[in-house]
Each structure stands twice: as structure tokens, then as C-alpha cells.
Chains A and B, each alone.
Chain A
């Protein structure tokens, strides 16, 4: 791990953000994996506590906007504990298919077990995959969702290009991610919450303040609404737009493959 205050332009190219720190690009995936290995078992409980259950509402709107229908193929990247995949499994029916993908084996194990418990089995595949190099055929997926996952990807532009490649023409990508609050007052409250309360909750419930500090820092490092919109357009997505939710704390970006 290196500190960004002393980095040269050459080092900038070879490093990426990990929270507020700069790390070697090759090391980030392993470090993110470490964070999620640590929180996997209590990930859903912590999400409920940290967001007051609102993450379910954000995901509900994501499912609405996906307009997924019977028989379609849906890829849920960074699907973690499988809450979106379980809903998609019902929507696509037995003729369709849902692929739950995550780079982290611990999260996938939790997700797979949850899906079995919910009875979502016949039409769900669980795949350990890197969003930057998706192991799927070109033009094979109708809808891709990535909820609270893009900010952990080392090369976001590369991941967006990879998603565009596997989408069918007309298919859509939905990126649900923490973003930038639209009001200054909300932004200040949100900062206090993220850097004071969140790590304390992580320490109390998951006995892991550092992982939750990383989550808060990684949210601040993530591109804001307009920047991510531009990144999607540069990657080749068409008709890109976004919806701010809860005052911009979270944004849902949508783009189509032309």
C-alpha cells in the first residue's frame, strides 16, 4: 500500500484507490476480497442496520426499472448474498436464467445458500467472476445489474466495456451505487454518519471497524452521478440516464446496448 500524497505520475498509472489510500492496481482485488471475506457472514444484517432497511427499497426500484420478463437472462454482478438474484429468479420463471456473479467466493457461498433457502434453484447459476473480464459469450445477456459493487472494481471503464460486450443489443445495464448527495446539508450529515457511526456499528456488530471504514471511504472515491453517466457513454452505452434516490445518497444509472 502506498500513500497518494507522494505519488509520481508513473506511480499514478500503476496505482488505484482503495478507500482514501492508493494501492498497486494488482493488489486492489485481493484487498477488496479481504474486506468482503470479513463481512460476508453478516453482510445483509449490516446492510439493514446501516441503511435502516432502505437498501431493500433501492433494490426494489432497480428491479422495477430492469423490466425483466419471463424467459430472459439476467446477470447480477457483485450479487453477493443474492437478494436481487432471488427476485429476478421469480420474474424470469423456469424458461429464463439468472446468473449470480461475484469475485468473492465467501459472498457467493452465502448467496448460494440463501438462494437455496428461498427455493430459487432451478434457474439460477452461481459463477465466481471478475466484472472486468466477464466469462460469458458476446450478446448473451438481456439485463445486467450491479448493486453496490462497481466502486470496488479496480478498472471501472474496463468493467463497463466488458458488460457492454456480453449484453444483447437492446439489453440494459443498471448500476445501483452510492453517490453524491444533492444537498449540502444532507452531505454533511451523511459524512458524519459514514465516518463516525458506520465504523462504530461495524465494530459492534461485525467486530470489524476497518472494513466498514473502507466501505465509507470507497463511497467517497466513487465517481459522482454525472461522471459515472459520462463513463457509461464513453464505454458505448446508449440512452444513459440516472435516478437520484434518497437525496442522491444512492443513484441508479441505466444504459442500453444499441
Chain B
């Protein structure tokens, strides 16, 4: 018998699947890219919660999420929630796949292709607003939301910059990146010099023991 109540998992997946298909519908530029992956099934096992989910890309406009799948999977990945979060948000998914704790079986190409389709998705949030509220009202609300979003992004990056400057330059809580890199280089250089000296000492000791043996 399954550990989780299948009804609970199915309900959650039904909601996610609906949102995913809605997002795909609102991103027409992704349809051709997804169509290229049609028929691909990807399996994901989240070890943190002991849950396996399959993503079946039915067509360029529809995907299905399942907890049970008997179709052959192009790729099967296994990892923790944190691993998958870093993979989803990474600009270099191949590096994350290699360096993180994610285990991969099958073809990584289809997984990376899907991650790139998702990262390139350009969702037209204005379309449902216009369809519901009409052209004028929908567009105005969308513009307001866009400007709020832009302001939020700008405020976020400005805040990050200012915090970084305060921590590094004013409070001197951590050393600057360049200083830290110089220190690491110096440590590495010292480590190599110590290794060389140790090698020379070993050689000298070997020579001394050899001469003692001859005497």
C-alpha cells in the first residue's frame, strides 16, 4: 500500500497541473519548444518527502503530472527539495546537475531542454486580465502591476547593493571579495612553497641515508 494518501497527492498535482497548463497557454512562444519534447516523460523523486512524480509532456500546449506512470521515462532524477529548487533557478543547470546531490538516470539532455524552456517562458499575464475585464481596464491593471513589479525588482536590487556596501565598506563585517581572493591566493602560494620545501627535505634525507649505507 502507498505511504501517502493518493487522494491528497492527486489533489495537489491536479492544482499544479492546472496552473502549469495555464502558464503554458499564456506563453505562446514556448509552444514550439515544448512540442519538440512531446512524448517525453520525466520522473522526479523528492527524497525529502518520499514522493515520486512523473511529468508527461503530451503536446506543445499540454503537460500531465502523475504519481504513477508505466511509460518509459527519458530521465529520472532523485534529490532533495533544496537540490531541485537550485536546479530550477539555476542559469547553468548542467553545472547544478553535476555538482549538486541530484542523482540522474537516463538522458540529461531532455531534462536540461525542459529547464531551459521553463526559464525562457514569457507568460503574458495581461491576456486573462483583458479577457475578464475588457481591453481598457485589463491593460491599465496589467500596466499598474508591471510598474509595481519593476519597482519591486529595482528596490530589491538597490537594497541588496546597499546592504552589501554597508557590510563590506562601512561596518567592515566581512572582508571585500578582492581582499579575500588575494588572501586565498597567498595561502595557496604558501601551501605550494611548503610542499616544495618538504619534497626537497625528503630528497636530502634520502641522499643522507644512502651515503650512510655506503659508509
Chain A residue nearest to B6 (CB atoms) is A61
- B7 contacts A67, CB within 8 Å? no
CB distance from A79 to the nearest CB of B (A): 20
Say whether, besides A64-B10, A64-B68, A65-B68, A247 and B5 are in contact (CB < 8 Å).
Answer: yes
* Assembled-state Cα–Cα distance A252/B6 (Å): 10
Q: Which residues of B contact A250 (CB under 8 A)?
A: 7
Chain A residue nearest to B13 (CB atoms) is A60
With an 8 A cutoff between CB atoms, is B197 at the interface? no
- B2 contacts A60, CB within 8 Å? no
- B70 contacts A58, CB within 8 Å? no
- A243 contacts B10, CB within 8 Å? no
- B7 contacts A245, CB within 8 Å? yes
- B69 contacts A243, CB within 8 Å? no
Say whether, besides A57-B14, A245-B7, A64 and B67 are in contact (CB < 8 Å).
Answer: yes
With an 8 A cutoff between CB atoms, is B95 at the interface? no
Q: Which residues of B contact A247 (CB under 8 A)?
A: 5
- How extensive is the interface on chain B, given as a class? 10 to 19
With an 8 A cutoff between CB atoms, is B11 at the interface? yes
Q: What's the tally of chain A residues with a CB closer than 8 Å to chain B?
A: 19
With an 8 A cutoff between CB atoms, is B49 at the interface? no
* Assembled-state Cα–Cα distance A250/B71 (Å): 26
Chain A residue nearest to B11 (CB atoms) is A57
- A67 contacts B69, CB within 8 Å? yes
Within 8 A of A (CB), among B1-35: 1-2, 5-7, 10-11, 14
- A241 contacts B1, CB within 8 Å? yes
- B5 contacts A244, CB within 8 Å? yes
With an 8 A cutoff between CB atoms, is B117 at the interface? no
* Assembled-state Cα–Cα distance A67/B69 (Å): 6
Q: Which residues of B contact A61 (CB under 8 A)?
A: 6-7, 10, 67-68
Within 8 A of B (CB), among A218-258: 241-247, 250, 252
With an 8 A cutoff between CB atoms, is A133 at the interface? no
With an 8 A cutoff between CB atoms, is B66 at the interface? yes
- A54 contacts B68, CB within 8 Å? no
Q: Which residues of A contact B69 (CB under 8 A)?
A: 64, 67
Q: Which residues of A contact B7 (CB under 8 A)?
A: 54, 57-58, 61, 245-246, 250
- A57 contacts B68, CB within 8 Å? no
Chain A residue nearest to B66 (CB atoms) is A64
With an 8 A cutoff between CB atoms, is A42 at the interface? no
Say whether, besides A65-B68, A67-B68, A69-B71, A60 and B5 are in contact (CB < 8 Å).
Answer: no
Chain B residue nearest to A249 (CB atoms) is B7
* Assembled-state Cα–Cα distance A65/B5 (Å): 14
Q: Which residues of A contact B68 (CB under 8 A)?
A: 61, 64-65, 67
Q: Which residues of B contact A244 (CB under 8 A)?
A: 1, 5
* Assembled-state Cα–Cα distance A247/B7 (Å): 9
* Assembled-state Cα–Cα distance A252/B68 (Å): 14
Interface string of A73-92 (1 = CB under 8 A from B): 00000000000000000000
CB distance from A179 to the nearest CB of B (A): 13
* Assembled-state Cα–Cα distance A241/B1 (Å): 8
CB distance from B6 to the nearest CB of A (A): 5
> Which one of A56, A241, A242, A245 lies within 8 Å of B5 (CB-CB)?
A245
Q: Which residues of A contact B14 (CB under 8 A)?
A: 56-57, 60
* Assembled-state Cα–Cα distance A54/B10 (Å): 10
Q: Which residues of B contact A56 (CB under 8 A)?
A: 14
- A60 contacts B10, CB within 8 Å? yes
26 pairs from A and B in contact (CB 8 Å cutoff): A54-B11, A56-B14, A57-B7, A57-B10, A57-B11, A58-B10, A60-B10, A60-B14, A61-B6, A61-B10, A61-B68, A64-B10, A64-B66, A64-B69, A67-B69, A67-B70, A67-B71, A241-B1, A242-B1, A243-B2, A244-B1, A245-B5, A245-B6, A245-B7, A246-B5, A252-B6
**Which A residues form the contact surface with B (CB < 8 A)?**
54, 56-58, 60-61, 64-65, 67, 69, 241-247, 250, 252
The 10 closest A-B pairs by CB, nearest first: A67-B70, A245-B7, A61-B10, A64-B68, A61-B6, A57-B11, A64-B66, A246-B7, A57-B10, A60-B10
Identify 19 new A-B residue pairs, CB closer than 8 A, beyond the known A242-B1, A244-B5: A54-B7, A54-B11, A57-B7, A57-B14, A61-B68, A64-B10, A64-B68, A65-B68, A67-B69, A67-B71, A243-B1, A243-B2, A243-B6, A244-B1, A246-B5, A246-B7, A247-B5, A250-B7, A252-B6
